Amino acid sequence: MKKFISLFVIMIALFAVTSCFIDAGTEIEFVSMPKSVYPVGYSIEQAKGEISVKVTSGTNTQVLNLNSSLLTISGLDFTKVGTYTLVVKYDTVSISYEYMVVNGEEKDPTEIDIDWYDKERSTFYLQDLGDLLGFAAIVNGKVDGLQDNFENKTVYLMADIDLTDVIWTPIGEGPRKVVGETNATPLNVKNSPQKGMFQGTFDGLGHTITGLTDEGYIPQMAAYKSSTFGDIHGATFGLFGRASNATIKNINVVNMNITGFVGYNTTTSEHLKIYSDASAALVGYSYGNMTFENCSVSGIIIGDDASSALLGRGYGEAGNTVELTNCTSDVEISLSREGKAGGLIGFTVKVDVYFTNCSFTGVNNMNQERINELKDEEREQEKRMHMPGGFVFCYITAKVYRDNEPISPVD
């Protein structure tokens, strides 16, 4: 854990940007936010270079970092521990931000950190990898006495995150089915070993997550109920494993590499093959309404079924929708067995799907046996795959292969 308590830091930050004064039509706002916490001895020049503001006066807009001679800066002091207020002034207009200075100590960047969390709040800010890992741990109920699905709450990602060489546990990990082969919903997972289904808004603020992979991830089979009967079906994987009535927006995932994983049976102490039938870079499995806005994904996915870039498998009830707006996929998708795959969404049932200004420019590999099966199942698939919303301003330039032979995307 961090050596300081930042439980109150985000509360401070929440109210900090309240001093934006408007004078004669001139406005000033932060573009690149200051940090909530700085270590003692931090470079003032470096801090100035990292922070920028946007000044709008009439029809003129300019973005300036704090080294600009047009700005007057006060309140930057990293000499000793304390709480300080940064004031940025442009002419007669100013904006302020309150921050803390602490005794800085090196920490393991992969160490889970939940100091940013306060259950009474509805807005949260993740500053680094440790915070993101803490976010996953809270949703997954891996923190003693603490589990939160973040329903009606918003989580902001404040920095780019490198997951290269990180063993990633999905936010909302767990199977898509519970006891009795019932699809997982926020209600029926409450008493299961893995309770979490993310139900809030995750806003990446345009940041990039690099190197997401399932390599090394071993879900504990106690959650899968059928773990004593051999291989397990119904596993989920993605940045978010399971989500419901959630929004994911303004996030980019690059150099993704999802290739399949094994599970561990805690009863028999044996490793088992996991058949992942809900894999995607962003959300493996969803139930109910889902919204994706301004998301892009690139990389490789090898799944068993329902594999795609943004959403692997989307289920729900009549009237539920899955909406994708301004989303792009440049993913090479392959199936290790018979199954369904798509450039943006792998498979849906009952939900209405709407695409607006979306594109798929990757590669989709399917084997001939599965294509024949899909033709035989055409009527059944039409009953189950429900996309009345259609496509608005979307395009596909993907390469599609049948048994390693290129075919038309609409063949």
What tens digit of pLDDT does each residue of 396-407 get?
Answer: 554 444 445 554
Please report the pLDDT score of residue 366 as a whole number: 57
Residue 48's domain comprises 9-102
Same domain, 22 and 164: no
Same domain, 193 and 331: yes
Please report the pLDDT score of residue 241 as a whole number: 92
177 in any annotated domain: yes
Same domain, 174 and 86: no
Same domain, 169 and 81: no
95 sits in which H/E element: strand 93-102
Same domain, 81 and 163: no
Please report the pLDDT score of residue 133 as a whole number: 95
Give the integer Cα–Cα distance in Å for 223 and 214: 18
Report the range of poorest mean pLDDT among 15-19, 229-233, 301-305: 15-19
Same domain, 95 and 225: no
Mean pLDDT calculated for residue range 78-97: 88
- pLDDT band at residue 364 under the 50/70/90 scheme: low
Q: Within 13 Å and on the Cβ side, how many CA atoms surround 387? A: 16
Please report the pLDDT score of residue 39 as a whole number: 85
- pLDDT band at residue 379 under the 50/70/90 scheme: very low
Please report the pLDDT score of residue 387 as a whole number: 44
Please report the pLDDT score of residue 107 as a whole number: 52
Comparing 291 with 62, the larger pLDDT belongs to 291
Whichever domain contains 27, its CATH number is 2.60.40
Closest to 310 measured CA to CA, from 326, 407, 71:
326
109 in any annotated domain: no
The answer to whether residues 157 and 248 touch, using CB atoms and an 8 Å cutoff, is: no
pLDDT at 318 over 50: yes
Q: Which amino acid, one-letter code, is at 66?
A: L
pLDDT at 8 over 80: no
Comparing 23 with 189, the larger pLDDT belongs to 189
Q: Which amino acid, one-letter code, is at 229?
A: F
Same domain, 89 and 217: no
pLDDT at 327 over 90: yes
**Looking at 79, 102, 125, which one is the last position of a domain?**
102
268 in any annotated domain: yes
Same domain, 184 and 256: yes
**Looking at 54, 70, 102, which one is the last position of a domain?**
102
At 188-228, the pLDDT tens digits run 666 565 678 999 999 999 999 999 998 878 776 555 544 44
CB atoms within 10 A of CB 80: 10
Closest to 267 measured CA to CA, from 215, 304, 232:
232
Give the integer Cα–Cα distance in Å for 62 and 70: 11
Task: Give the three-state DSSP class for 158.
Answer: coil
pLDDT > 70: what percent of the chain? Answer: 69
Please report the pLDDT score of residue 267 as a whole number: 61
124 in any annotated domain: no
pLDDT at 393 over 60: no
Number of domains making up the chain: 2
Same domain, 90 and 163: no
Q: Order of strands across the sheet with 52-57?
A: 26-32, 52-57, 60-65
Same domain, 172 and 66: no
Give the integer Cα–Cα distance in Å for 411 and 400: 9
Comparing 288 with 390, the larger pLDDT belongs to 288
pLDDT at 381 over 80: no
Give the integer Cα–Cα distance in Å for 21 and 8: 25
Same domain, 228 and 305: yes
At 139-177, the pLDDT tens digits run 988 887 788 999 999 999 999 999 988 889 999 988 877
154 in any annotated domain: no
> How does the average pLDDT of the chain come out, rounded?
77
Please report the pLDDT score of residue 2 as a whole number: 44
pLDDT at 372 over 70: no
pLDDT at 3 over 90: no
Please report the pLDDT score of residue 13 as a whole number: 40
At 328-356, the pLDDT tens digits run 998 888 776 666 777 788 888 888 989 88
127 in any annotated domain: no
At 26-57, the pLDDT tens digits run 888 887 778 877 888 888 988 888 888 888 88
Most confident by average pLDDT, 11-20, 108-117, 172-181, 366-375: 108-117
122 in any annotated domain: no
What are residue 248's phi and psi, to 5 degrees? -120, 125
Same domain, 256 and 347: yes
CB atoms within 10 A of CB 298: 18
Comparing 14 with 89, the larger pLDDT belongs to 89
At 242-293, the pLDDT tens digits run 999 999 999 999 999 888 766 655 566 566 666 677 889 999 999 999 999 9
**Looking at 55, 84, 102, which one is the last position of a domain?**
102
Closest to 83 measured CA to CA, from 37, 20, 51:
37
Please report the pLDDT score of residue 92 as a whole number: 86
pLDDT at 382 over 60: no
CB atoms within 10 A of CB 175: 28
Whichever domain contains 394, its CATH number is 2.160.20
144 in any annotated domain: no
